[in-house]
Amino acid sequence: MNGDVSGDMNRDMSGDHQPPPPPVGPSGFPHGIDPARIERNWTAISSELFVPRPSRVERWLQRLSVPPSVTRLMVATPALRRAWFLALGLVVLIGLAAADGTRTRENLLALLVMAPLVPVLGVTMAYGSRSDPAHEISLATPLSGFRLIMIRSATVLACSVVVLALASLLTGAVPALAFGWLLPAVGLTAAALALMTVTTPRRAGAIAATVWVVAVTTAGNVSNDPLVAFTAAGQVLMVVIVGIGLVVSYRRRDRFDLLAVAS
């Protein structure tokens, strides 16, 4: 990195009248030049030369006052991006179905059942050795696994809520009902996090999703009201599930901190 400065100085560039080279110090630099200062300057210059600009998403998040270190954790995980794209695809499908104005009630039911699965997919598909090639390296850092998964879950939930809210507006239903997926989305994510402390992330996501779909369908059939799960009682139940899910995840947070291997 330091280069052969004395060699450059000795190079004959102007014929016979080249001035004698300045005396060279023990560091290899001419006398009077501080190698430490050169090193500091080089570091500053190289920071500008070699450090790539943050991605557009990262810069956009930083404009929203999210700290740069957090934006890096939010966007620098390719598995998280893949999971987002998958979830986004699901949302687009729901949106297309919802745009069909002739079947408003069925569309609303489809949205309410499918929307909570979006963040669950995002969270469970982006965590673990199978999704993240640097998973084991990140486990061995002082950022606790629980904190990392909470940052990722919050990111996924926030993004999902924004996109799903747009899809909800397309249904034309009263907002109180059209946004009935919101608490179930948080509840299912919390349940999936709790399940991740006992099984693999993908299995946890699959269990949470299956139980949700079966429960909503069964409740609808039993009560003859397909939307019964989204009434006040159902929403209260979801608040309870959020609480239980978060408590279980926190109490068993060691599981996010250690490598999941068969014992």
Residue (31 or 37) nearer to other proteins, CB: 37
d(CA 150, CA 249): 10
Please state the length of the chain: 263
When asked if residue 158 is in the footprint of other proteins (CB under 8 A), the reply is no
* C-alpha dihedral, 91 to 93 to 99 to 101, nearest 10°: -120
Region binding other proteins by CB under 8 A among candidate stretches 18-26, 75-83, 100-108, 200-208? 75-83
Closest by CA position to 3, among listed 48, 31, 42: 42
Least distance in angstroms from the C-beta of 148 to other proteins: 7
Least distance in angstroms from the C-beta of 211 to other proteins: 29
**Candidate list 76, 158, 166, 240; residue touching other proteins; CB under 8 A:** 76
Residues of this chain, 135-154, that bind other proteins according to CB under 8 A: 136-144, 148
Q: Could you tell me which residues come within 8 angstroms of residue 162 by beta carbon, excluding any fewer than 6 positions away?
A: none
Q: Taking CB under 8 A as the rule, which mask of x and - marks residues 13-52 in contact with other proteins?
A: ------------------------------x--xx--xxx
Q: Taking CB under 8 A as the rule, which mask of x and - marks residues 55-74 in contact with other proteins?
A: -------------xx--xx-
Rg, C-alpha atoms of the chain: 28
When asked if residue 255 is in the footprint of other proteins (CB under 8 A), the reply is no
Least distance in angstroms from the C-beta of 254 to other proteins: 7
Q: Could you tell me which residues come within 8 angstroms of residue 230 by beta carbon, excluding any fewer than 6 positions away?
A: 112, 177, 180, 181, 184
d(CA 61, CA 187): 26
Least distance in angstroms from the C-beta of 143 to other proteins: 4
